[in-house]
Each structure stands twice: as C-alpha cells, then as structure tokens.
A = this chain, B = another copy of it.
Amino acid sequence: MPVESLYKTLFLDPRSVVFVGAPRKSGPGSLNPVDNLRSWGYKGTIHIVHPHVSQIAGVNTAPSVSSLKGPVDLGIIATPRDTIPGIVRECALKGIRALIVTNQGFAEADSKGKELQRQMIEAALPMGTRILGPNTLGVSNSFDRFTSSFMPLDREEVPVGVVCQSGVFFVGSSQLTGGLGIGIDVGNECDIGLTDAMEWLGYDQRLKALAIHAEGISEGKRFLDVAAEVSLRIPIIAMKTGRSPLGALAASSHSGSLAGHDRIVAAVMRKAGIIRVDETQDMLDLVGGFLRLPPMKGRRVAVITLTGAGGIILLDTMNLWGLVPAKLDQNSLETVHDLFPPWMAACNPMDIWPALMKNGMQKVYGIALRDVLNDTNVDGVICLALGLDRKHQRYFSSVEEIQNLSLEFSKPIVVWVYGPQAEEVRSQMNQHGRAMTVPSLERGAKVLARMAQYEMWRQRTK
C-alpha cells in the first residue's frame, strides 16, 4: 500500500483506536467522543487511556498508552495542552502512526502554544507518526462508520467530501455543504494539511463533490497541482475566508495560518478549476447542484416562467453571472406556439401563463419544457412552478412533467417553487427525478452559472 494511502486508512478507517483524555462521564451533555463512535456502529476496537478511572462509557480503561495491548491504528488525544507533547511521544513509541489532537490552545493561541505545537511535531514525525490538528474535530467517515468528533454528528452516506479548518463545517454540514459523507478538519495543520486531505478525498470513489473551507493556503504549488487533478475527476467547491484585512488577521489567530493575498488566491483557484464561492449558501447550493443535476455544458439557458417579472429577474441575474438566454430554434417551438394567444410570441424567457390559462397547466408545461430541452441551443433550463394549496395544486401542478422530463433529458433543470404551499411542492419535487429546487430564482441562475464554469474548464483542460 502506498504510504499516503496507508495514512488515509489509519486516519479515516482505523481498525483500532485509543482515546487519551476522553471525559469520565458519558451520555448526553458529556460530549464524549466514545458515545458518538458507538452510536455510529463502529466495528473496530476502542481503547481508552485514563490514569484514574477504570471504566468509561462501558470500556475498561488502561492506565497509559504504553500499557495498551496489541497494535493501535489511531490515537485521539484531548488532554491539557502541557501534557500533549509527552503523550504524542508515548504514542509514537507505541507504534501508533496516526494521531488526532483535538484541543485548542496551540499555535492559534499564544507563544507557549506555538512552542508546544512545535514539540509535538518533533516527537511524532521522526517516528513516522503523523498528526491531524491540533484544534480540530478530526475526521468523520459515514461510509466506514468512524468519527473522532466529540460533537454529536448525524451519520449519512452522502457522496460529499468536506475538508475544512473548522468544526463548524462538521456540526453545521446540513447548513453549509448539505451533508458530510467524509470530512477532515485539518485545524491548525501542524502536519496533515489541506492539500493532503484534499488528495485523500479527491480520489475516493464514494465521493462526487468536494467542499473545501480554507482560512489559509500553504504549499501553494502542491495545492494547485493536486486541485487541478482532482478537479478533473470531481468538482471542488472552495470557500477561502480571511479575504478582508480584519478577517485575515483573525484567521491567523484562529488556525494560525497566513491568509495570503486574496487576488492571488483567486487566480490560483481559477486555474486549478476550483469553484470559489463567496458565501456559505453558495457552497450549499453548488454541492446540491453537482450531486443532483446533469452537467451544465455551456452558458445558454432557457427560462420557462409563469410571470413576466420572473423572466426579468432572471435576465438581470444571468447577465450578472455570465449566463446568456438561449436563442431558441423557432422550428422546435411550433408546437408550443400554437398554444399561445395570438398577441403573444413564444420567446425566451418563455412566459407560458397566458397559454396555460387557455389550455391548462400540465399540457402547456409539458410541451414547453420538452421543446426547450430538445433545442440544441439550450444547455440548461430554469423554470418556475406553483406551490398552491392542495385543492388548487392538482390543477396547477407541473411536478410530474418536470420530474419525468428531467429523467428523459440529460440537461440540468432548476426549479423555483413559489406560493403558499411551496415547501410541500418542493419536497414532492425532490423525491423523484433530477431537477433541483432552489430557494430563489437568483440562486438557481448562480448554480447553473458556476456549474457551466466548471464544466467548461474541465472540457478545456482534460
């Protein structure tokens, strides 16, 4: 097994693990990582080292790392900071080759913390032991039922990899990335860095998108090389914080990293095919888009709207994000055109409201959506759908038409559902098909724009 891949396994799928410094108490409120690991159904061996207590969370403890019997793949250390270099040394001597140090109070804190961080590295690296952290929740691997996190996390086998410099991307994954299939919180990056983690996850066949949160990027050249290769396989959506002067200053005292000049960072990322997002909600939207939608192969969008205003809002937004309204092939529009009132032409954005008042929602929606999906000038579709109350919804629903056509054509369709019962209709829409519902028209356009940018980079590069 190549060395890199060995460490990946030791950290993300260890056969045995030792906790040093787990809380005495277990159960709700204790934030005991052993509870979390148990509740995830971990199949390996759990050891706990504690000098004073003989049993924690039902596990018989050992008094020291050196007294542990049998080999241990991974150590998870959460003791007071002064004790850590010593414990790291003991672990390395015991032959533990992977360590996660969760505590805070190191390079991000003060000069004493910097010195302690240096000492722990010195104790580990020469022995072939590698360290993740400090200042980290560690790893979380839903597929192999392993987590080092003391914060309770939901286990869900979603094909999303997360590499971050903060536990908020673990705990808040529902809000930030839409899930956490495998996550690595690199914390202070005293040894294992962003690039290592990106490499481990970038080639994991179970993952379809990678979300990265970086406060600083070290190893610029290697980061660029790895990112460019990974990006050819799966999209990397990255949020680089510390963009503002005060943010950069705070980043240095959070994860102890240098934020770097923001424009250079942006250029490097673009070159490597990374999709950079400015806001957390864009990360959520994009991960969702890449997981659910077929590729967006160009910038040409057809809009199917139930209101003129919606079309105009989209034209403004598409213009802002570099999408263009597709020039629809007039021949392919003949069927739908027959449904329009004489005073209105079928164009793009296509406002089908007057047509459906005459001919009914399902008929007009189905024909209009099929027409634009069939059109070779169209790369993707943004459409509007109504979420009326139940008794009206059946007359004005386009859910089935959208779902079925999303499976018949391999072009991305994003749908903004509006109305009093929009939430219910969104949830119906999400149960089937490959169309993606979006919380606003603007966010729908932004998703397609960024997906097009990625796909076009990929076509140019590969």
Q: Which residues of B contact A241 (CB under 8 A)?
A: 309, 312-313, 316
B309–A28 CB distance below 8 A = no
Q: Which residues of B contact A325 (CB under 8 A)?
A: 246
B354–A104 CB distance below 8 A = yes
Q: Does A398 contact B (CB under 8 A)?
A: no
B250–A167 CB distance below 8 A = no
Residue interface mask A361-386, B partner, CB < 8 A = 1: 00000000000000000000000101
Q: Does A165 contact B (CB under 8 A)?
A: yes
A113–B343 CB distance below 8 A = yes
Copies of this chain in its oligomeric complex: 2
A441–B280 CB distance below 8 A = yes
Mostly, the A contact residues are mixed
- Given the interface pairs A29-B392, A316-B243, the reply to whether A281 lies near B110 with Cβ below 8 Å is no
- Given the interface pairs A104-B354, A109-B343, A280-B440, the reply to whether A312 lies near B418 with Cβ below 8 Å is no
Give the contacts of A271-324 with B (CB-CB under 8 A). Answer: 279-281, 306-313, 315-320
Given contacts A168-B309, A171-B418, A250-B315, 19 further A-B contacts (CB under 8 A): A104-B344, A105-B341, A105-B343, A151-B388, A154-B389, A164-B309, A168-B307, A169-B309, A174-B419, A175-B439, A176-B418, A241-B312, A246-B319, A246-B325, A247-B312, A250-B311, A251-B312, A279-B442, A281-B443
CB pairs A–B below 8 angstroms (17 shown): A81-B343, A105-B343, A152-B392, A166-B310, A167-B307, A168-B310, A169-B309, A171-B418, A171-B419, A172-B419, A174-B422, A244-B318, A244-B319, A246-B325, A247-B316, A250-B312, A250-B349
